[in-house]
Amino acid sequence: MTKKKAKTATLRFFIFIFVIAIIAVQILGTQEALAEDGSPLPTSIQIELPKAEAPSTPIRYKGNLDVLVIGRDFEDQYLRSASSLTVVTPHLDAIYNSWMSFDLEMSGLFVAGNTKNFYTEEGKSTDLLLLDEAAVNFKPMKGLDLRAGALNTKINPILSIMSENCFFGTVQKLTLANSSENIKVSIAANEAVPSSGTITHGLIDDAPNAYFLTTTLSGEFKVPVLRTKLSIATTRFEFGSLSSNVAADSRLIGNSPESFDGIGATSRFNIGFAGFETAASLKTDWTSRFSTELVASTIVNERGPSDRNDGYQAFAKIKQKFKYFDVVPSYGMFDMAADVTPASFTILPNRYHNRKGYTAELDIQLEKQKVVFFGSYTRANVLQESIYISDRDMYNLGVEAKYDFL
């Protein structure tokens, strides 16, 4: 067993021991309460599995449709792209009983426009049908959630440099809360196979399948008297045995050219990706009509060169409610080194690898109608000189509408 696999196995072992310890504490607490009450102690521990509801109980369905129409323009030395993008995303939940459900989400992308790119297909306008999620969910006991299937996956749940990707895998999450649920603490583990998007041809080696692992410790703290909620999460992540397709794409769109061996279809990362991403969010409702939110994250790739393995991003948002609509301006800053994560797992306009800059956005929200009009501008300057990327301007203007159909 390699050192990498040994570390992973040790981490999973500690998570398993943590879950067993929590269950044991609950059992001992119950026994002590019975003893103090004068009730006889149970002579054995009985584990009662969740009972399926009667076959006659109908399956409940929930469904909604998200429609996004956006015009976008990307400009830099190597890329000129002006296009319109329509994304139609239906989401369906099938709830079988109190402890099992199924989620399905897909997206249809319909685009029109023109793109010129000197090196890659970044910014290309292509019609696509994508699977976002197809997962079965189990809740065997209060606070314990188990998921498996094609899952919407990223590193840190609060804010991450990695976009949400559909990876095949499993998630285990244990949440503990006080009686008022103003304090919640969770630990979650995710084991997945990263999607490469294409098949690697002409290469045969002894490398195992690609993998993506995360372990997240998070907390949520509400202060009702101040109408404030603080969320914190730190995630240990690891990518391994990534395919040549992922390497070839990442080389041209943000990761440092020095982090690869080979060219084209023979490209391979010569560095690893494992480290920590930590994020926090602070939201306060100052009045019934005015609120603020601060969100920030930092990331360190412990297996990357020290001069290009860390970064941060931070955003501030204000929400002012009026009679018929809400106005939400926001401003963000980012400074991301080239090799914090594989660049191909982050989509435009949030691909900040080897870039430093800012983004500004203005949203007009019609809360009752579930419609949002938005416009944004992002300036992203290159940190370390690269022959593949250059300083970039990105403009977005669009509208998003949500509909409940079940």
- Rounded to whole angstroms, the Cα distance separating 312 from 240 reads 23
pLDDT computed for residue 58 by the predictor: 85
pLDDT computed for residue 126 by the predictor: 81
Closest CA to 138 of 257, 52, 224, 32: 52
Phi-psi region of 284 (alpha: psi -120 to 50; beta: other; left: phi over 0): beta
**249 contacts 268 by C-beta, under 8 angstroms:** no
pLDDT computed for residue 348 by the predictor: 85
pLDDT computed for residue 291 by the predictor: 98
* DSSP of 143-164: TEEEEEEEEEE-S-SS--SSPP
Closest CA to 220 of 285, 164, 176, 286: 176
- Rounded to whole angstroms, the Cα distance separating 339 from 303 reads 9
pLDDT computed for residue 52 by the predictor: 54
- Which pTM does this prediction carry? 0.83
61-94+107-130+215-404 belongs to which CATH class?
Answer: mainly beta
pLDDT in tens, 134-182: 999 999 999 999 999 999 999 999 999 999 999 999 999 999 999 999 9
- Rounded to whole angstroms, the Cα distance separating 197 from 365 reads 35
pLDDT computed for residue 223 by the predictor: 96
Kindly give the parts of the chain with pLDDT less than 50.
1-7, 9-11, 13-14, 16-21, 23-48, 199-202, 204-207
Q: Where are the domains of the chain?
A: 1-47, 61-94+107-130+215-404
pLDDT in tens, 308-356: 999 999 999 999 999 999 999 999 999 999 999 999 999 988 999 999 9
